[in-house]
Amino acid sequence: MAKDVLCEVNNCTHWGSGNKCNAEAIYVVSKKGNQANNSEETDCQTFEQEV
């Protein structure tokens, strides 16, 4: 498992100092079913907009 997960989406609830994701778990899905050919074909479903 990755030691640090980096994220630059600073309006996410899980965004932390040093662009680190503070979520307990990360859920990434493919936009095209079960497979992706590159990062543009994926989405982070862990994102929650900070209010």
Question: Is residue 1 over pLDDT 90?
Answer: no
The more confident residue out of 2 and 6 is: 6
Write down the pLDDT at residue 29: 97
What pLDDT, in 10s, does the model give residues 8-37? 999 999 999 999 999 999 999 999 999 999
Q: Cα 10 to the chain's mean position, in Å?
A: 11
* DSSP-assigned beta bridge partners for residue 33: 30
What CA–CA distance (Å, rounded) separates 38 from 42? 7
Question: Is residue 43 over pLDDT 80?
Answer: yes
Domain total of the chain: 1
| Residues listed for the chain | 51
Write down the pLDDT at residue 11: 98
Cβ neighbours for 43, distance < 8 A, ≥ 6 positions apart: 28, 29, 31
Range of the domain at 10: 1-51
Residue 25 burial (C-beta neighbours within 10 Å; 0-12, 13-18, 19+)? exposed
